[in-house]
Structures are given as C-alpha cells and as structure tokens.
Amino acid sequence: MKSSCILLLLYTISFRSWTVRALSRAPFPAAPTVTCDPIPTEAALKMEATVRRYFEGVHTKDPDKIRSCFGETATIRDVCGLQSGQRTVTASELVALCMDFVTAHPDCAINFYYGPECGRTSGGWVVAHWFETGTWLGDSCGIPATGAPMACEGQTRFLVDPDSLKIQEFVVTRTFTEWEKDLIEKQKVESSTQFHINTSILTLATRTTIFLECILVRLIQGGNSKRRERDEVNEDRVRLFG
C-alpha cells in the first residue's frame, strides 16, 4: 500500500513538472511579421474615395459610376460560402451583378458602421463595415418580387491599386437577402437541368454512333458476301469454259 502511494506521488510530481514545462513553451510558432511601406495620407484618402464611389454607385443605381471603380477585371473572394471560393470576373460582370441586386431592391440604401478606411500600413487594403436596408420590390433574374423587407450587412476588404486607383480584389464576409438565396437555388436547379440535358444528348449521340457502326458493319459484310459470290461465279466460268 505504501509503495503504491509513493509511486502515485512520484507520478503526480512528474506530471506537474511536465505540464509546467509544456505550458512555458509557445503552443504555436509565432506568426511571421508582415510589413508594408506606409501609405501616404493623400494616397490613402484617394483609395478610400474609390471605395466610397463604388458604394455610391450601388446606392444611386448608377452602373457607370460602379464601372469606373474597376479596371478590366477584379477578383472576388466570398468568405461566407454562398458562392464560395475565389474567382476573377470582368468589370462588366460585376456591374451586372450589382444592377441585378438593385433591380430586386430598387429602394436599397447603404450606410456604414465603419469606414471605408485605408490602413496606412495595410498594403492597399480599404476596409468597410456596411449595412443595407430596403424592400424586395422588383422582379430580377426571373425571380418575382415578394414585397418583403430587406436587410443585410457585411465587412468588405478592397485591394485598391494606389496608382490607377482601381479596385483589384475584394474579400466579402456578409449576410444574404432572400432574393440572393432564391437566386442561388434557381442557379442550382438550372445547373442540374443542364447537366441532365447534356447527359441525355451524350447518351443519344453514343447510341446513334453505335447504330451507324452496326449499319456500316452490315454493309461491309454484305459487300464481302457479294464479292465472294462474284468470285465463285468467275471460278466456275473458268473451270467450265477455260
């Protein structure tokens, strides 16, 4: 009994010693320090103005103002996963996406909890915490309006080129409207329908090819049979008449 207690005491001391040593170490390696050249205040203000102009374009339903904020393309990263992943789209596609949204919500109004603000050492990122309110009053993308109130919010980081003052990339974390959710479901159905159509076309093409191959084989076989019959007649003629 005494020996068991002594062993238990030694085990406890050893475990506590190991725990203290483990906790004294950093649980994860230190994150690398990323440093960027400071952005002059004047340049930062111009970059912020680009992002504000983008939001103003959405707020006023002005496609030309929205288009003026981008170059030829821009990269979107949707953190929330409704259309997950990173993709690069043309400026025209971006404008069309915005106009589809404001067509569904013609009274959409945008306000800010924070920003847009450019960090002076952020490497060109402008951050905005925004919120939108309105009503689903318009039919858009084949989805009929319901008249339901709309409210959503999000935080977006815009990477603005300091020379061209064009938005090159943005990362979105946000909530979604009922119209957007219905649009995604509609796209899923259309994608599934198109997949079945393509599969049916491929199946029909395969069966047609097999059918034509069978006809070709029969024609070849028929031609060979007639050729054999002709050869046999010629052989008989030679045997009979020399």
pLDDT surpassing 70 at residue 231: no
Higher per-residue confidence, 205 vs 73? 73
Which of 7 and 218 is assigned the larger pLDDT? 218
Residues 6 or more apart from 104 whose CB is under 8 A from it? 136, 137, 138, 139, 140, 141, 143, 145, 177, 179
Global pTM?
Answer: 0.64
> Is omega for the bond preceding 116 within 30 degrees of 0, making it cis?
yes
Each residue of 83-111: pLDDT tens digit?
557 899 999 999 999 999 999 999 999 99
What local confidence, expressed as pLDDT, does residue 20 receive?
47
Residue whose C-alpha is closest to residue 161's, from 170, 149, 152? 170
Which run of H or E residues covers position 155?
A: strand 149-160
Share of the chain above pLDDT 70, in %: 64
Architecture of domain 41-175: Roll (3.10)
**132 vs 28, higher pLDDT:** 132
55 vs 242: which has the higher pLDDT: 55
Across the chain, mean pLDDT equals: 80
For 141-194, write each residue's pLDDT tens digit: 999 999 999 999 999 999 999 999 999 999 999 999 999 999 988 878 766 655
On the question of pLDDT at 50 being above 50, the answer is yes
**Cα–Cα distance, 120 to 38 (Å, whole number):** 5
Q: Please say if the pLDDT value at position 137 is more than 50.
A: yes
CA 135 vs CA 102, 131, 147, 155, 236: distances in Å: 10, 14, 6, 21, 94
75 against 41, higher pLDDT: 75
Residue 52 and residue 39: Cα distance in Å, rounded? 18
